[in-house]
Amino acid sequence: MTIQQPNNPLHGVTLKEVVNSLVDWYGWEKLGQWINIKCFNNNPSLKSSLTFLRKTPWARTKVEKLYIKTLKNKQKK
């Protein structure tokens, strides 16, 4: 039985989708300014970012919070 999570904006969204969306919305440079981690600032790539974020919970939390904030701002428009 699948549990529905209607109030969880991350439910069913992969980390890859989150990072791709943020890069599409802001670009690597702006993303690196807001979340100052090497994988966004030094030779950024999706692969290196996903590897780092999967191993680093504090960084992943920051990325997920930015994604949720961005979704809410997009819905207001």
Apex CA 12: angle with CA 22 and CA 37, to 5°?
35
- The residue to which tokens 């992969």 are assigned: 14
Q: pLDDT grade, residue 1 (50/70/90)?
A: very low
Q: Which tens digit of pLDDT belongs to each residue from 16-72?
A: 999 999 999 999 999 999 999 999 999 999 999 999 999 999 999 999 999 999 988
Question: What are the extents of the domains in the chain?
Answer: 15-76
Just give the CATH number of 15-76: 1.10.720.30
Reference 66, options 55, 77, 53; nearest CA is 53
Ramachandran angles phi, psi of 56, nearest 5° = -130, 95
